[in-house]
Chain A
């Protein structure tokens, strides 16, 4: 462009930083954090545990975010001009339309009056959503921690070796050393041969040379030629083999068992708290594993594998037998998720109720069948009452195993310590 010399200048700003409003947007979110957090909390209950890849739609009552100004209210005498008269003559009387703002909508003043019932709806990104959701929990940087995972082996090439099976012979390498060996073994002879041949030529061209000397030379030459020819084309010494080694690779698949008591004593608030815990665990595991399966098992006196919706929202009445869920989990694990291939995690949420005689059975099941196989088993008890038998049985297991965490949660803020526990033990 030759802009400088003209009156007008075209400036291409397209490559300039966009997001000039990012700071302002952030200010807005900070300012309305309370409202937004409430909306996020409400949203959690609507979302699926595995649904973590999108942001969230947030609605704030318009009233709350209006910027007040002095302006005229309803009433008084207002006279306005409108276009498109098709029927009126001066003096006509018209019924006041509902809203009482004259014919038509009048000039759009409603927007800043803040009277509307409509929410101010906008979307926050995935990261903003997660940040707000776990803000109280001070979630550490998950990626910095590594779990000790199930190990698989993978074979990979690692250089060359001098012995091996014929199938692994590396032809290029072998021929290269063959060539080298042949050069090494015949170079001095070839040099000598060349000298002798020159000498012979000289003698043959010199009149009066002795025939014996010539004969002798010819004999020597033949001998040398023979020796050179006898250097073998390939020798076992030349052979090179591809080398293979085994390497440990952490398994990238995991299964997460969610166990929950759905007996009558678990109310929706308790379940929502459990849900947050599951979401947190799910998030943590998705950062570590590529494939993550989630199995939902709910139980009262019997356990059943269900889908997520049923897991969180169906209500059953009756007693509580926790071991039923542990048994079912073990069965499912044995059938579908062999411990040699899957990293197994389990999270159990309960209000602590259990049929007293069942608790020792639970301990046995965990001790003998489950804890040896799982990476981590976390038990959260969401209750304000004193602990019962189940808690004590689980607690006793902590002495023997370091892959079980037992935590008491009274309110949502308590969820994080469970995680801290988990990280502390599992962090490499």
Chain B
């Protein structure tokens, strides 16, 4: 390295817009060498206060008005004021152009780190990962958010804040069940969205009316129709089902259900790619800034500050540490990408046995392929290597409530590698984390009651909050709602109802 002319950029610590641009140009140049394909970047400098606003809006650059965002803001503000938490260095939004926020308090080094991490790491992930490609439309999200914000504020004016808040509360309670897992939504622009929204209002209402028609059918027709089951197949997207079929909702209420559903859909890929997304971004800020150093573009001081921050981000406390809060997705993701590169470049015999396809292959191709085609669950089950399991000293703990002890089900040894891979992978499987609850049946010709069915995995019961959620569901559905559980022996037990009948009184009924 001694023979490279070192003409480093200023390392600040104060940044300026000129300097930001110089760093951006350099990082961009290097990112291109590594074939990082991104949406255009839009980098916004904001204050700490604005960062708290951004935080409270769960990372949406503009959100509709709701008390829960206020609660989140107060939480953030309190935590920050008391020094219990620092603010994130960055927030990045999956949009085209990709918006990243830099906080003005950051030093030049931190700004460079954030640019590399967010504007090239996350950005390229958003653009190329299959889940994001299939589920979100970065080009139209901002337009949609504008539409949603305006629509909800119009509704507040027309129908009153409380009415709108009630619907939103209920939708939020079911937000995790507002996701299509298989169908891909089509994207449209703001104008179209508004146009369609009006058409939809009329059409939807007519459809709902048809389903719930009460005019008796003529005898011939009646003979032809056998009592049909509705829905024909269980429906996992509860909010979608409500939007299309709830008998009593006004058109504007359906539209709000739809808005919340769309939000859920938009965030769904992020929930499934936490380890990968953060790992990818961390891998690239590390790689890009090191390359800048190798090219003589940044100073030693810059690197010291950067590495200190970087090691903080990827620290993984042990299970018995007071700081242990589960597996750090940054640490796991970063180390997995580093490990994949190692397997490509310097495979051991063990790697060749475990990863015959990638051992010795071009690392950049392999990394891009891994980033594009996996989510956390499959990424781990595909790429977690024995070496990494040893490095993290991972072990599995089995907690069976039928036994009065926990048992160690696997450790980092020959016998345990496959088990640990499997357990860890399942730990990131959303269908294991989120209870499997689907719309089971609606009595369309009876009392119009709606039944949800919970199928537990591993005998894990639903938390008590389910009865509260059922009250929200009842508000949306308008008729009686029941939640039943199907156990291993195919027995069906009712676990929550709203309104609660005398025989099923679990808790005092209260208005929500």
**When the two chains form their complex, are residues B395 and A11 in contact, meaning their CB atoms are under 8 A apart?**
no
* Alpha-carbon gap, A95 to B45, bound state (A): 51
- Give the number of residues in A that approach B within 8 Å (Cβ atoms): 70
* Interface check B43, CB cutoff 8 A: yes
* Interface check B4, CB cutoff 8 A: no
Name the one of B45, B165, B394, B405 contacting A83, with C-beta atoms under 8 angstroms: B394
Name the one of B77, B413, B427 contacting A81, with C-beta atoms under 8 angstroms: B427
* Interface check A93, CB cutoff 8 A: yes
A95: B residues at CB distance < 8 A: 405-406
**When the two chains form their complex, are residues A76 and B401 in contact, meaning their CB atoms are under 8 A apart?**
yes
**When the two chains form their complex, are residues A24 and B462 in contact, meaning their CB atoms are under 8 A apart?**
no
Q: Contacts A21-B73, A31-B67 given: A72-B394 contact, CB under 8 Å?
A: no
A113: B residues at CB distance < 8 A: 463, 465
* Alpha-carbon gap, A75 to B462, bound state (A): 9
A107: B residues at CB distance < 8 A: 325-326
* Interface check A154, CB cutoff 8 A: no
**When the two chains form their complex, are residues A84 and B57 in contact, meaning their CB atoms are under 8 A apart?**
no
- Please give the distance in Å from A151's CB to the nearest CB on chain B: 46
**When the two chains form their complex, are residues B78 and A121 in contact, meaning their CB atoms are under 8 A apart?**
yes
* Interface check B5, CB cutoff 8 A: no
Of residues 63 through 85 on chain B, the ones whose CB sits less than 8 Å from some CB of chain A are 65-71, 73-75, 77-78
B24: A residues at CB distance < 8 A: 8, 10
Name the one of B45, B49, B394, B412 contacting A11, with C-beta atoms under 8 angstroms: B45
* Alpha-carbon gap, A123 to B82, bound state (A): 12
**When the two chains form their complex, are residues B44 and A11 in contact, meaning their CB atoms are under 8 A apart?**
yes
**When the two chains form their complex, are residues A81 and B394 in contact, meaning their CB atoms are under 8 A apart?**
yes
* Interface check B348, CB cutoff 8 A: no
* Interface check A53, CB cutoff 8 A: no
- Count the A-B residue pairs with Cβ separation under 8 angstroms: how many? 276
Of residues 21 through 63 on chain A, the ones whose CB sits less than 8 Å from some CB of chain B are 21, 23-31
**When the two chains form their complex, are residues A85 and B463 in contact, meaning their CB atoms are under 8 A apart?**
no
Of residues 404 through 421 on chain B, the ones whose CB sits less than 8 Å from some CB of chain A are 404-413, 415-416, 420
* Interface check B95, CB cutoff 8 A: no
* Interface check A157, CB cutoff 8 A: no
Residues of A whose CB lies within 8 Å of any CB of B are: 1, 6-14, 16, 18-21, 23-31, 65-86, 88-96, 100-108, 113-114, 120-123
Q: Contacts A21-B52, A69-B469, A123-B78 given: A80-B399 contact, CB under 8 Å?
A: yes
Of residues 32 through 91 on chain B, the ones whose CB sits less than 8 Å from some CB of chain A are 40-47, 49-50, 52-53, 56-57, 65-71, 73-75, 77-78
Residue on A with the closest CB to B435?
Answer: A70
Of residues 320 through 355 on chain B, the ones whose CB sits less than 8 Å from some CB of chain A are 320-321, 324-327
4 closest Cβ pairs, A-B complex? A84-B318, A76-B460, A28-B70, A24-B70
* Alpha-carbon gap, A19 to B74, bound state (A): 12
**When the two chains form their complex, are residues B317 and A84 in contact, meaning their CB atoms are under 8 A apart?**
yes
* Alpha-carbon gap, A104 to B396, bound state (A): 12
**When the two chains form their complex, are residues A85 and B393 in contact, meaning their CB atoms are under 8 A apart?**
yes
**When the two chains form their complex, are residues B401 and A10 in contact, meaning their CB atoms are under 8 A apart?**
no
Name the one of A12, A25, A82 contacting B45, with C-beta atoms under 8 angstroms: A12
**When the two chains form their complex, are residues A71 and B463 in contact, meaning their CB atoms are under 8 A apart?**
yes
Q: Contacts A25-B73, A26-B70 given: A70-B319 contact, CB under 8 Å?
A: no
A9: B residues at CB distance < 8 A: 40-43, 97
B434: A residues at CB distance < 8 A: 70-71
**When the two chains form their complex, are residues B50 and A20 in contact, meaning their CB atoms are under 8 A apart?**
yes
**When the two chains form their complex, are residues B173 and A68 in contact, meaning their CB atoms are under 8 A apart?**
yes
* Interface check B281, CB cutoff 8 A: no
A121: B residues at CB distance < 8 A: 78
Q: Contacts A11-B44, A21-B70 given: A90-B415 contact, CB under 8 Å?
A: yes
- Please give the distance in Å from A17's CB to the nearest CB on chain B: 9
